[in-house]
Structures are given as structure tokens and as C-alpha cells.
Amino acid sequence: MKYIQTSRTTLVKIICLSTMIFIISGCSVLSNAPTQTALKETHPPTSPSTSISPTVVEGTEGLSNDEIATLSSLEKADDYPLYTMHYYGTYGQSSAMRSPKWSLLEMTEPYPSPWACSLFAALGDAESMLYGRNFDWEYSPALLLFTNPPDGYASVSMVDIAYLGFGGTNAGTILELPLLERQALLYAPFLPFDGMNEHGLTIGMAAVAPGLMRPDPEKETIGSLMVIREMLDRAKTVAEAVDILKTYNIDMEGGPPLHYLIADRSGRSALVEFYQGEMVIITNDKPWHQATNFLRAASGESTEGVCWRYDLIIHQLENREGRLDMGQAMDLLHEVSQDGTQWSIVYGIITGEVNVVMGQRYEMILIYSLVASEE
């Protein structure tokens, strides 16, 4: 295992990443960012509780009370669309999350590339640490999912519901479906693309070139998205999240290789990569961290010129000494957005506030809150 400290220091739909041409093309042109003009504010309920006793609904045979409550909580927040849902009760982490295959994702057809993503942690303000993330892909309807498992931490995460079969023309009509036809949404906890838990631990991922991973026969295998769920449910700090990653072989089969940018309330962050058969942990030595779509471990001392988005993020964070407010963080995501940016999200690591923009409509910010733990 290799640790690197540096101040310079994100999924395809069921196709393997064979080249990085698309990543290079995703870092080629910087477009002008339009000005934010308006604000749409939405406040959903706080974290779910298992004490709910839903009314019996016709056509829900085979669904438990918790599942009925979960599927009934679905709301449409944005016509892109973005939905919100609160997951009630347990979702069987121990069996599903250790499945070595992305079997849930095989319900959808392969999609074309290219795409790319941008992530950063702005940690310079102890009262307003933020994590920003652009998900750049083709059309991706999304779900903002609130979970509070009985044996884990409450969290909020973003899920691309095209992975669950709700893509294309049916993405905007899920609320018209009976509950039984929404059942695929019960798998949403296992597919977090980014998220934050009640302790402020925040995680995002980005695609990178293959890093020649070597599975350890002594370790269990877990999917590359499911491990994000494991970290959100079990870890309070970057160190605890990294320990979870060390516990498993991370299965990238069926999707591209990934690296993970993780941050917490202490101001610590780590970019975790898999390179030349080792897990490489790149920690921050300044109050910010960032990642796009190249392996930092393979870049040597200089990253300048590798990706324009990476360079711009560094420039802005250096100039502000890692201090951004929610608006400035969203503006930075706007600056590094691309034609394929599906959502931009800013997580308030300290406050629990979550700001979401769908489809580059930066004039319409959706505001949510996860009740933060005081521990």
C-alpha cells in the first residue's frame, strides 16, 4: 500500500473502459459559465424512521410495510427529472453489497461514451467545509435518496435511475406507476454515485484508466458502487472509510475503473486509487483536494496540462485558500461543466445542506438538508 501527500492532486452503463481517449477529449475545451439568476428551494422531510405504519394499499402484494412506505415516499422535485425518496427500514446490506457482479445493472442496455466528471473538497473554512461534484454523462434522470438503516448512519446520495430501468421516455412518469412497478427503486441504496452521511463523511467517484488491480484471495469482493454504500453506512472519518476499502477487493467488472475522493469534517481528505497492483492513498496537505479522470498516482510530480478541469479547480481553490461558500462552490462546478453534465451537487460537510442542479440549469438550485450528527 502506498501513501502520497500532495496539494495537486467520475460510470459508463455496463461497458468496460478500454481507452482513455474520451477522458482526454473531456478535458479539451473550456466553455464560458453563465450567471446564476434564480433559486428554487425545496425542503424534504428529515431522515426516515422505521416507526411509520403506512395504510394498506391495493396492488402491493408481496411488499413489506417498509417497502410500501419507501416507494410511497417518492416525490418528483424537478422535471429533468430529479426524484427524492426516503428509504424505510433495512435494505439487506450484508448479502447484496457483497455481490461480486453488477447484476442489478444488467437490466439496462449498454450506452455509448464519452463522458467525464469533476470532484473537489474545499476545506479551508472550518464552519463551511464543502464537497462539489459534477456527474458528466448522457441523459441521466436521478434520485436523491435518503437512507437511515437501523445498523448504520443516515445519509443522502445521488443515484442514476437509468441503471434501474427508468431511463429514456419513462423517466418522468414513475409516479404514474403502481408501487409494484416501482420495485426496482428498492435497489437504489446499492448504487450511490456520490453521497454524504450524518457525520459529514462525503464520497464521490470518477472513472480513470485501468490500474492493474490484483485481487487478494483472502479478501471478500464488493462492487465499486456498493463499497460507497458501505462507507456511507459505516464510516465517520476518512481513515475509517479507507480502512473499509482496504477490507475488500473492489470489483470493477461491468464498468470502468474508478478512483474515490473522500473528505470529512476534520479537514482531511484522500484520493484513493488502484495502481500497479496497489491501493494508493493520496492525502491533502492543504485545505483542498480535487480529482477528475486521470490516475494521479501515474502522473508524477506535475499534473499541469493533463486536464483543463483539474487545472481550473486547483487555480480557484488555491486563490481562495480552500474557502468557498455554497454559491461559489456551485459556480465552480458551473465553470467546469460540459455538454454532458447531468447534475452538479454541493454537499455541506458541516451543515448537512445539499444543493443540486439538474441538466446544467444553474438558475434553478434545489436545496435539501440531511440532519447532521453533533458527534
pLDDT of 325-356, one tens digit each? 999 999 999 999 999 999 999 999 999 999 99
pLDDT at residue 185 is higher than 50: yes
Q: Which residues are CB-contacts of 126 (< 8 A; sequence separation ≥ 6)?
A: 267, 350
Grid cell locating 274? 488502484
* Strands 117-122 and 341-348, sheet pairing: unpaired
Asked if the structure places residue 374 within a domain, the reply is no
Cis ω before 256 (30° cut-off from 0): no
The answer to whether 272 and 284 are in contact (CB under 8 A) is: no
The C-alpha atoms of residue 169 and residue 165 are separated, in whole angstroms, by 11
- Banded model confidence at residue 137, pLDDT cuts 50, 70, 90: confident
Mean pLDDT confidence for 99-107: 43
Alpha helical stretches, state H, the chain: 21-25, 65-72, 93-96, 226-234, 238-247, 308-319, 326-335
The C-alpha atoms of residue 284 and residue 316 are separated, in whole angstroms, by 16
How do residues 214-224 score in pLDDT, each as one tens digit? Answer: 899 999 999 99
Asked if the structure places residue 186 within a domain, the reply is yes
Domain coverage including residue 70 = 2-369
Asked if the structure places residue 11 within a domain, the reply is yes
Strands (E) across the chain are located at 2-6, 75-78, 82-87, 117-122, 130-136, 142-147, 155-160, 194-197, 202-207, 220-223, 248-251, 258-263, 269-275, 278-284, 288-291, 341-348, 353-358, 366-369
The answer to whether 257 and 208 are in contact (CB under 8 A) is: yes
The C-alpha atoms of residue 106 and residue 103 are separated, in whole angstroms, by 5
The C-alpha atoms of residue 350 and residue 48 are separated, in whole angstroms, by 20
Q: Tell me which H or E stretch contains 284.
A: strand 278-284
Per-residue pLDDT, 262: 99
Per-residue pLDDT, 17: 33
Asked if the structure places residue 311 within a domain, the reply is yes
CATH number of the domain bearing residue 48: 3.60.60.10
The C-alpha atoms of residue 178 and residue 223 are separated, in whole angstroms, by 30
What is the pTM (predicted TM-score) of this model? Answer: 0.85
- Banded model confidence at residue 127, pLDDT cuts 50, 70, 90: very high
Asked if the structure places residue 169 within a domain, the reply is yes
Asked if the structure places residue 323 within a domain, the reply is yes
Write the burial class of residue 194 (CB in 10 Å: 0-12 exposed, 13-18 middle, 19+ buried): buried
Q: Tell me which H or E stretch contains 272.
A: strand 269-275
For the chain, the domain total comes to 1
Asked if the structure places residue 120 within a domain, the reply is yes
Asked if the structure places residue 206 within a domain, the reply is yes
